[in-house]
Structure 1
Amino acid sequence: MELFRIAVAGCGGMANTWVSYAQERDDARIVALVDIAEENAKNMAERYHLNCGIYRDIGEAIKDSGANLVFNVTVPEAHYHITTTALKMGCHVLSEKPMASSPEEAEEMVAIAQEAGKMFAVMQNRRYLKNIRAFHDLIKEGTIGAPGFVCADFFLGPHFGGFREVMDSPLILDMAIHTFDQARFITGADPVSVYCHEFNPPGSWYKGNAAAACIFELSDGSVFSYRGSWCAEGAPTSWESSWRITGSRGTAIWDGIAAPYGEIVADSDSQEFIRKTERVEATLSWSGREGHWGCLDEMFSALLENRKAETDCTDNIKSVAMVFGALQSAKRGQKIALQRE
């Protein structure tokens, strides 16, 4: 039964995963491909044997095809136009991150989605990994007690070429939202304030600032420290970052690759100078699919169950606030309050 008539906006490399996913579903069909470069859309139609209309304008595509769901896989600068047009025309929207290019756009997009009564959810694929789910559970179950200090290191040196290498803030705007969103997911806490220093290290091949250090105060009283660089060659961390969370009873570790674990105080009454600890392995109980496919599974399940997706815009805007708050802090050289009702 065909429930979802999908218009795909943006036919670049990232769209391949989204199109492949749609084609595996019995309840979905791609009815339109939209790209300002029609050749991109034509190539995608040929690659995936799609018999659908090809358009340069999202409004025309929705009107002609009768689409009721839009995959927004365009570049970040186009997210606002594609998403708001689709929502106003009665479509649900599933979008690549970041949801918007400014906090003002993000707020307006959330308001439009709520007014339209349509889902607007954002791809945060790094929530959907068995190891991060286990890490989340380790913290939620209180294994290390109350979290106090949350640390994430992200050091990689990818040579993308293209738009990322000419952005003003490529690390924070295009990548750090993954780690910021992961911190919210892992701890279950939201941002209260941020102080950020961003810079462009020697040897960087990026035009803009490709490195940053951020300190966030979180709603549970803990502090989240982020250190990152996108021009760090040698000794790379995982794309999922390297994590250390210290709590009132011990420490939880996840290197972003292997299974997470904790080390907790073995005897709280001990008078030793350095108390002995015991290792606690995380339980790998996540049975869903990982990455983009896991996030898309959740989005479609939410649509079918008429509920908000885990990465609904009303939640994701809190991660977006961390991004734009960090950028504002770096620009002003001062701590920025992050408050949203």
Structure 2
Amino acid sequence: MKKLKLIQCGVGGFGRGWALQHTSTSPDFEVAAIVDISQAALDDVGGAIGVDAARHFTSLEAALEAVEADAVLTVTPPAVHVKHARLAFARGLHFMTEKPIAGTLADALEMLALSRSAGRQLVVSQQYRYRPAMVTLRNRLRAGAIGELGHGHIDFYIPADFTGTFRETMEYPLLLDMAVHHVDLIRSVTGRNITRVMAQSFRPAWSWYRHDPGLKMLLDLEGGVTFSYSGDWSARGRVTSWNGSWRLQGPEGSLHAENDVVSLETCQRWSKEPTRQEFANDTTARDPQGETLHRFAEAIRTGVPAETSGADNLHSLSTLIAAIESIRTGAPVMVADVIARAAAVPAEAGVG
């Protein structure tokens, strides 16, 4: 099958890993050009993956004028995503972003409208969906291991030290930079969107972050399911995996994912006749990041939106915006209200 031609924007930092481990080795894509504001990053990655200097550019506009392509991948700050999307869709190219989809909900809505108008695919790399333990947890829940889901919980505790980086000083670092994965995973694993958010952030006295690395959330899901979340990026002691520690409760028992081991536990009243069963992890054909790239290619070839399409991801981003509003107001926030308000605001203004 003929490879699709891809322009990758952003090849420093996380983008470097994308280029070396995924886009340059993909069976679906060939790298037509690389774009970065850093000439040093272009020289470094270009040399490593065999993209000659004639296909190095410091702007997407210049790359689009010089090379033929089918798609654009942007691994850049979220505020840049909408600018790149406008350029890509105007040229009739398909577009994939790193998470989050955009810097604001209004930008995300604009990107979605542009993709639909152009008839092109918009995909977000929510790679945590394809981690083996998360694939296994979703499959076991969908197979009815505990009956109908009643409620769930995630704990996330890793004392991450980002001293000297933007995460040290950003507002709501855990919510915006990490819980975005967990919110998206809740939707993916349960198959339900989040409808209402009550959130509180906090900064423990011992924290090395400027703002709040702690987060508590109470979420209402479709179908009346309640889900809670507790996390702290400055908590030293017992740690969780990056997926978090999960408990999904149903009438027949509970499903757990702890340290990437998925198990089913049951018992009778008063904890009698307890049982525990561990499952071998289900896997995808590729590693999680590679899986998102392959599904982008499949969406382009078939015309069927990817699981992590822009339309789907709008619900994850909207939940984060609702959580921020809840933190600031101290009140629960309906996710649908957040989307409705953003749709009425010009994209340039954004949402807070």
Q: TM-score normalized by structure 2? A: 0.89
Partner of 1:308 in structure 2?
305
Q: Does the 8 A contact of 2:201 with 2:213 survive in 1?
A: yes
Within-5 A mapping of 1:1-341: 2-19=2-19, 20-51=21-52, 52-160=54-162, 161-258=164-261, 260-265=262-267, 273-282=270-279, 284-339=281-336
Matches of 1:240 and 1:59 in 2, distance apart?
A: 37
Q: Does the 8 A contact of 2:133 with 2:282 survive in 1?
A: no
Matches of 2:165 and 2:282 in 1, distance apart?
A: 39
- Evaluate the alpha carbon distance shift between residue 214 and residue 46 of structure 1 in structure 2; reply closer, same or farther with a 3 A threshold: same
Q: Which moved more, 1:211-220 or 1:293-302?
A: 293-302
Q: What runs of 5+ residues in structure 2 fail to find an aligned partner?
A: 341-352
Shift of 1:287: 4.2
Matches of 1:125 and 1:273 in 2, distance apart?
A: 40
Matches of 1:212 and 1:277 in 2, distance apart?
A: 33
Q: Which amino acid in the other structure matches residue 9 of structure 2?
A: A
Q: What do residues 92-116 of structure 1 show as CA deviations (whole Å, max 9, x unaligned)? A: 1111101111111111111111111
Q: Which moved more, 1:80-89 or 1:194-203?
A: 80-89
Q: What runs of 5+ residues in structure 1 fail to find an aligned partner?
A: 267-271
Q: Does the 8 A contact of 2:213 with 2:234 survive in 1?
A: yes
Q: Which amino acid in the other structure matches residue 319 of structure 1?
A: S
Q: Does the 8 A contact of 1:36 with 1:57 survive in 2?
A: yes
Shift of 1:263: 1.7
Q: Does the 8 A contact of 1:138 with 1:282 survive in 2?
A: no
Q: Does the 8 A contact of 2:150 with 2:226 survive in 1?
A: yes
- Evaluate the alpha carbon distance shift between residue 109 and residue 153 of structure 1 in structure 2; reply closer, same or farther with a 3 A threshold: same
Shift of 1:273: 4.0
Partner of 1:269 in structure 2?
none
Matches of 1:111 and 1:333 in 2, distance apart?
A: 32
Q: Does the 8 A contact of 1:197 with 1:330 survive in 2?
A: yes
Q: Which moved more, 1:227-236 or 1:96-105?
A: 227-236
Matches of 2:28 and 2:128 in 1, distance apart?
A: 26
Matches of 2:193 and 2:247 in 1, distance apart?
A: 18
Q: Does the 8 A contact of 1:135 with 1:282 survive in 2?
A: no
Q: TM-score normalized by structure 1? A: 0.92
Q: What do residues 203-226 of structure 1 show as CA deviations (whole Å, max 9, x unaligned)? A: 322222211101110002111111
Q: Does the 8 A contact of 1:264 with 1:280 survive in 2?
A: no
Q: Secondary structure at the match of 1:232?
A: coil
Matches of 1:88 and 1:29 in 2, distance apart?
A: 21
Shift of 1:313: 0.6
Q: Report the aligned-residue RMSD.
A: 1.9
Shift of 1:58: 1.2
Q: Does the 8 A contact of 2:33 with 2:51 survive in 1?
A: no
Q: Which amino acid in the other structure matches residue 309 of structure 2?
A: D
Q: Does the 8 A contact of 2:130 with 2:284 survive in 1?
A: no
Shift of 1:4: 1.8
Q: Does the 8 A contact of 2:11 with 2:18 survive in 1?
A: no
Q: Which amino acid in the other structure matches residue 170 of structure 2?
A: M
Q: Which amino acid in the other structure matches residue 225 of structure 2?
A: S
Q: Secondary structure at the match of 2:79?
A: helix
Matches of 2:296 and 2:330 in 1, distance apart?
A: 38
Q: Secondary structure at the match of 2:83?
A: helix
Q: Does the 8 A contact of 1:2 with 1:26 survive in 2?
A: no
Q: Which amino acid in the other structure matches residue 226 of structure 1?
A: Y
Q: Secondary structure at the match of 2:217?
A: strand
Q: Which amino acid in the other structure matches residue 190 of structure 1?
A: N
- In the alignment of these two chains, the number of paired residues is 335
**Overall identity of the aligned pairs, in %:** 28
Matches of 1:256 and 1:182 in 2, distance apart?
A: 16
Q: What do residues 30-49 of structure 1 show as CA deviations (whole Å, max 9, x unaligned)? A: 12221122222222112222
Matches of 1:323 and 1:103 in 2, distance apart?
A: 10
Q: Does the 8 A contact of 1:87 with 1:112 survive in 2?
A: yes
Shift of 1:27: 4.8
Structure 1 stretches (4+) deviating beyond 6 angstroms? none
- Evaluate the alpha carbon distance shift between residue 80 and residue 166 of structure 1 in structure 2; reply closer, same or farther with a 3 A threshold: farther
Q: Does the 8 A contact of 2:318 with 2:335 survive in 1?
A: yes
